[in-house]
Structure 1
Amino acid sequence: MPDVDHVANGRPAEGRQRLRCDVLVIGSGAGGLSAAVTAAHLGMKVVVLEKADVFGGTTAYSGGWLWVPNAPHAIAAGRGEDVDGPKTYLRHILGNAYDSGMIEGYLEAAPRMLDFFERETEVHFNPGSGVPDFYGNVPGAATGWRSVVAAPYDGRLLGGLLGRLRRPIAETTLMGMGIAAGQDMRMFLSATRSLSAFTYVSRRLVKHFRDLLFHGQPVQLMNGNALVARLLRSAVDAGVELRTGAAVCELLRDGQRVVGAAFTSGEIRHDIVAGHGVVLATGGFPHDERRLREQLPHVRSGTPHRSAAPETNSGDGIRLAEAAGGHVSGRMAQAAAYAPVSLVPRTDGSVGRFPHLVERGKPGIIAVMASGRRFVDEGGPYYDYVREMIAATPEGEPAVSWLICDHRFIRRYGLGAVKPFPIPMGRWLRNGYLTRAATVPKLASRCGIDPTGLQRTIDDFNRHAARGDDPAFHRGTTPYQRVQGDPDHKPNPCLAPIVDGPFYAVRIVPGSLGTFSGIVTDVDARVLDGEGQPIPGLYAAGNDMNSIMGGYYPSGGITLGPAMTFGFLAAESIARDAAEHQDHGSKENAV
């Protein structure tokens, strides 16, 4: 390994603590942890540095889904497919942004990555057999078997690390308990309507409160929380050193090669030399205001961007890569993974960010602009909601919309942070998060919406929704939309009139689940310079890496799937490079 005294960009490192490893991973989401676990299994000494005081990054907030066509789960169930299917689908969605090398490399490696984790680690998944691609009317779209989700996990198996796991967004939980998409959520939504669902939910709640009593925190881990927990357990089992509160401030170089990093922990600065490679996986730039202004037109126009990602994701990895000669793509269709967000007042004075991913597809809700007019298929992909909201905003005005529903809807499905019956909604009315009125015009006036426009929109919507039709936006006509709806509601699971007062509204602003625009890499996750050449020793994964989807959002799981896959590929590439250098050194010594 190089001597740290000679690699700190030409400056002496006297007085600093000196650490060494083979692979240094910066960031602890799915991309970083997958790289760390894989590298450790390949025989390398690995250190993970996390700036926050908890592990998990955006992954811990996520649904824990990965888009992986031909996953081992699908093959085992006899549901494998010709790779031309997903390639055709992506070509139609991505258009000129389709990068055959990156896409085809991903489609080949992702199933192999899953197979490795299922066989060698504590990371396990359940198949998304009924989870469709977002755009079911596009050639190559599938109605299921292209997704997997992290299997639930008993947090007690993490031991002391459980207290250092980032918890889910509080408002997306039920009293701190995570609820998984699919059957788990359906049971909770049906708890007051079905004895079997009531029994299921009662058992979950009893166990949850028992866990709080004996462990002081939830231990039934779901979704992205379960994925991070499984990766952490696997990392510890493989001998990975994990550090929180470690903010990387500089990459160390020996000529053009990146050979480590300087980081601060408390007030102490450390240099850590990584003999084989450094992987950047710090979660992109969802809270880097300068870069958001550069990359997002609505931010330049004066509309703030409210990402649901952790606030510690502030573009550190991207800045480090740029300082080492890397560059960020400016050719994304959209620079962020858009999602509609509502701002949630909290008792401690902070403001939460609730991502609206689920209830928009249920029957009996619409989204409107200040004019009172609809602008989007409410049950469609969350990415489209924000994109269309921004497009519908008059020039010079802030981008904002409202989700509107009636009393039947909010008590049946909830609305954002407001939970369904029997959970009270009083505090949300008192703190201003939720607006209520006896009539549609009064609700409009309280929200700043045109009353005549909103009444006209609802009257028109109701007339068609009663028959299960939506001539304006064709809601409920694709498999994804129908899965998002209520299968017990007929004739269209996504449509019902809004008629039972009082009426309710929640204000929606542009947000995201993270960023798409990132560091340009090759298919081995090696960071490329402005000439397209790899920067020796430097890799990127997760949202630090430029999205292979070109700034589009074709299906759920297109962030975590590539994050884990390219973390896995980065570790494999580092191991190959290390072996080649060792072979080369052995030959030179022999000569």
Structure 2
Amino acid sequence: MSTVRAEQFDVVVVGSGIAGSSAAVAATRRGARVALLEKQDTFGGSTALSAGMFWTAPDLDAYRRRVPLGDEALGRAVVDDFAECLQELRDTGARVAGTPKTDIMTFGTGYSTDILAILAWCRDQVEAGGGVCRTGTSALRVLQDENGAVTGLLARTRQDRVRYETTALVLASGGFQGARDELTRALGPNADRLLLRSNPGSVGDGLRLARQAGAGGSTAMSSFYGHLIGAPANSFGPADFLPNSQYYSDHSVVVNLEGRRFTDETLGDEILNQDLLRQPQARGVLIFDDQVRSTVGTDEPFPGLSAVDRYQVAVDNGASHVRTDTLEDLVARVADWGIDPTVLSRTLRDYGAAASAGGGFAGGTPVSPRARAPRT
């Protein structure tokens, strides 16, 4: 029979990504003794797998256009507090780029950082303030009194169970991208076709704990962050996430398995992948020319990621692909994948005409003034 030991803290934070780590530092600065808990064997969650860009929308209007269902109060904070937070990151002593990168996700501005060093600095601050940072600790249940007030957290380690007694509990355990049932509820049946491009430990722990404690949901649960990945992918572990991401897709023509465009490609790869999820089988085809491949297709998307031929990375990893000298030959080859060549030919012809005219519509789908048709 396992025992339950008790420990007392002013604040308990579940999850050691940038959200949880920042919350732990904020509480420590206010004099709280903090327990920062991570269920995996290493700290950092999905943040530790990221490119480490610290960025924001340039203004609130840009935020509203890009995140129409977002919480405007939070959006205002993301915009208004950015300069102060950037200076705070610089003050940690970790590397923060001196020159900003623009057009992040086609609209944002931000700076490359050494995110692992920043996360380590956060843990140092917590421990210097008398707190603890622990891995291998899984949250089981929010503890509440008869009136529903939070009194602590029941957690499990490899050795025992621990009752963390506190009146301040922060749930920052990440999303639910690793939980197929939750993904299907939020995103629909094609969610089963998504690759997990994130921390595998993010299986909705925080959402589950919050629901148990009586909390509700929010808007925009059907949106997500991700990138287009060549399919099939023979290997797709954490080391494959960044080099296999087709960041340049906003410079391509994207069609579904019916050979039709379904969105404005210039919205950016982070939007295209969400729109593609709603298409048949959540699969599509990127069509681009050698100019795109040799420029934005091999550019360094974020400082520190290094330049890499992302098309070739996808090909080497098993992705279906064709390369031809003419669009006519490409259409014929892609027809072998079951895409109607007549429909695809019309799609490319109409897109090219709209792009040459400075934008408009093709087949009912917007074509941006920035669009450029593939050339041979």
Q: What range is the shorter-chain TM-score in? A: 0.7 to 0.9
CA contact (8 A) 1:303 1:398 kept: no
Q: Aligned pair 1:403/2:376, yes or no?
A: no
The partner residue of 2:157 within 257, 265, 270 is: 265
Moved more, 236-245 or 19-28: 236-245
Which region of structure 1 is more displaced relative to structure 2, 318-327 or 224-233? 224-233
Aligned CA distance change for structure 1 residues 229 and 358 (closer, same or farther; 3 Å):
farther
Aligned partners of 1:238, 1:347: CA distance in 2, in Å? 42
**What secondary structure is seen at the aligned counterpart in 1 of 2:209?**
helix
State the partner residue of 1:345: 233
**Hey, what's the Cα distance between the residues in 2 that align with 1:460 and 1:101?**
42
1:86 and 2:48 matched: no
Whole-Å separation in 2 of the counterparts to 1:257 and 1:86: 38
Matched, 1:367 2:254: yes
8 A Cα contact 1:436 1:443, kept in partner: yes
Conserved in 2, the CA contact under 8 Å of 1:435 and 1:446?
no
- State how far apart, in whole Å, the 1-side matches of 2:235 and 2:65 are: 46
| Matching residue within 319, 323, 332 for 2:220 | 332
Over residues 512-547 of structure 1, what are the superposed CA-to-partner deviations in whole Å (9 max), with x where a residue is unaligned? Answer: xxxxxxxxxxxxxxxxxxxxxxxxxxxxxxxxxxxx
Residue of structure 2 in register with 1:282 after alignment: 173
1:305 to 194, 213, 224: 194
Structure 2 counterpart of 1:497: 374
Pairwise mapping of residues 453-532 of structure 1 onto structure 2 (< 5 A)?
A: 453-461=343-351, 469-472=358-361, 473-475=366-368, 477=370, 495=372, 497-499=374-376
Counterparts of 2:316 and 2:63, CA distance in 1: 46
When residues 107 and 376 of structure 1 are mapped into structure 2, their CA distance, relative to the original with a 3 A threshold, is closer
Residue 28 of structure 1 aligns to which amino acid in structure 2? S
Aligned-pair distance for 1:40? Answer: 1.9
Structure 1 residues 133 and 60, CA gap change in structure 2 (3 angstroms):
closer
Distance 1:129 1:237 in 2: 32
Q: Which of residues 38, 51, 65 is equivalent to 2:39?
A: 51
User: CA 1:64/1:453 → structure 2, altered by over 3 Å: closer, same or farther?
Assistant: same
Q: CA deviation at 1:19?
A: 2.7
Residue 316, structure 1, aligned to residue 205, structure 2: yes
The CA deviation at 1:360 is 1.5
SS at the partner of 2:319? Answer: coil
Name the residue aligned to 2:276. Answer: 389
TM-score, scaled to structure 2: 0.76
**Of 75, 82, 102, which residue of structure 2 is paired with 1:131?**
102
Aligned to 2:17: 29
Give, as a single letter, the amino acid of the residue that structure 2 aligns with 1:148: G
1:499-521 per-residue CA deviation (whole Å, 9 max, x = no partner) reads 2xxxxxxxxxxxxxxxxxxxxxx
Shift of 1:435: 1.8
Judged with a 3 Å threshold, the aligned counterparts in structure 2 of structure 1 residues 428 and 288 are, in CA distance, closer, same or farther, namely closer
One-letter amino acid matched to 2:337: C
Q: Secondary structure at the match of 1:336?
A: coil
Task: Tell me which residue corresponds to 1:435.
Answer: 321
User: Which ranges of structure 2 fall in alignment gaps of 5 or more residues?
Assistant: none
Separation in 1, partners of 2:211, 2:281 = 32
- What does the per-residue CA deviation read over 1:325-349, in whole Å, with 9 as the maximum and x for residues that have no partner? 21212x3373433543445634699
Measure how far apart 1:368 and its partner are. 1.1
The offset of 1:277, in angstroms, is 1.4
Distance 1:91 1:464 in 2: 28
Higher relative contact order (CA 8 A, sep 6+): 1
Bigger radius of gyration: 1
- Given that residues 2 and 160 in structure 2 are in contact (C-alpha distance below 8 angstroms), is that contact kept between their aligned partners in structure 1? no
Mapped pair 1:148 → 2:143: no
**TM-score, length-scaled by structure 1:** 0.51
Q: Of residues 135, 145, 162 in structure 2, which corresponds to 1:244?
A: 135
Instruction: Quote the residue 2:339 is aligned against.
Output: 449
CA displacement 1:236-273 (0-9 Å, x = unmatched): 55554222221111122344332322222225222222
Q: Please show how residues 530-549 of structure 1 align to structure 2 within 5 Å.
A: none
- Return closer, same or farther for 1:291/1:349 CA change in 2, 3 Å cut-off: closer
Q: Distance in 1 between matches of 2:221 and 2:5?
A: 44
Identity of aligned residues (%): 24
